Chain A
């Protein structure tokens, strides 16, 4: 697949945006300014960006508790996202939801979910509506290998297939369901083998190669837009941080993280693009400086936004 130079630079820029947001959030959270829990996605940046770069505004995504990367890649504004993490009224969910329950409906981000796997059952509905309204829009629902043990996964795969919904099941393999390694809870090597069991095509790709992710997703999106039904994608990747911020990660064998950091998707892609002559060090630094400014502005915006009033507990309960 031919990817244009502009698209390549955009892919890199989006990954840097995701990573900078996640790294800044790490620092701010450790300083005690953000309430609640955080589940960060450093290392899975290529999956978020490679998939979302294939989607238009009208397409929808359903994200996990580790969903910042996808929401940013889909095009959500960083200011209300950051304000949401700070629990402020200018947050995209008015400070009520926080990291695990982010939604930015105007950019098609239909909700992160604190219940593992549950996004799949709900994503069925958005895909159904896209088909019902005779559009060629599609929906992508993200989950990890842990979620493939849920009833939701199996019900949703079957339902999407039998109703022929434009739904893309995007599974990021990051080798741990919270603390339990994949081999202890998944009975097969490649979870996407299950797609065939539901009559659905699938692709396995290197989740740290943003162009491989991009190409795989392009095939899935084309399939959906042509009304051919659902698709499953399996991306082999790894999360650099723990399950949650503060996780001591005692379940990881020594050296495993370092091995995966050698395959950091951003480092790999910068090298690749430099080699191809698409962008040089100066160009990369310019991108980084732009993103730095964008994220700094988001943090300032968040810090200046007030807390929600108590009255916010009692509005929007019913429409």
Chain B
């Protein structure tokens, strides 16, 4: 076996040094009736070449771009990833190291994460960002729990236009805690409805996503002010990080905490994971933040260096009193995002974000011209909702056969929105792709 270096002679001499007769003798402390009888019932080993063939066949059965034209976003976006980003991510010094507990041997990871924290904070207009979380949904759940700790209140208000799957993760995290989650409805224009908000008492936080699940841009400033009137934390969530290349960032609109998904920043979709949970906040909440943080310091010679810091918030020191149980960050995903943001630069991200917006507007207009209704009239970034005629479902299936994925049906998530589809257009969809989508949905 190519990953097991021991020769028969090595094993014999090591067993002798240990003082046991054979490999089984190493397990004398295991009670007899806990042991496996016989071999594990697993498929026999494959050679590298057999595995290549097997995996290729599995991979070939998947519907992916460019063969398929996928107009689906909803928290997982198709963006071009430069070869240089993927190449750097394969550097094994980054890939095969662990959490930088020993900073002298991990300056590469540490500086890269410090830079990621800085770029993420700048993208969102915040003072600080953590070293990353599992995904946008868990970042939201942890942000809400943090607001409860900070305010010592036990109720949070969450917009119903936050990604439905994120809200389900929040409910899972909250279920055993006894804390309450109330949902804010939405208006005909496709943004969060604050009716009834004034009657809500004792809120720890108000959380809103922008662009929201319908793709609409929320008036964060106004919602933030309402949240602050009640001395609740204002949490801005997002699923499409690239939008802040163009849109006003949440920090400049009064957000206390910003959390969301960074998959758009150079991370392959990989059937939904791993992704990148981005969590940023104002500096005053630094010591209440969940998760890892990297800070700048100096070595004995006064040279700049980086370390994991504020560990006294974390589980291995604080145990049950920790700010979270999280013990990892999605470090390699954060590295991907940093290399991607560095490659785009300030000029590039602006242009790319604008192109996403403009392409989505093109499709929106073409669909309008073709007689379809755009469900909500609020401004959008690269996703929007369209209402297709009754019975479109059959047509959707026919389009799949033509290798076009005409967005995501909203009915499973919002039962009132039958025949409404969430469409996404990024820089990867050409004008031709969009024209053919319009032609096909019309026929």
A-B interaction: no
Interface residues of A (CB under 8 A from B): none
Interface residues of B (CB under 8 A from A): none
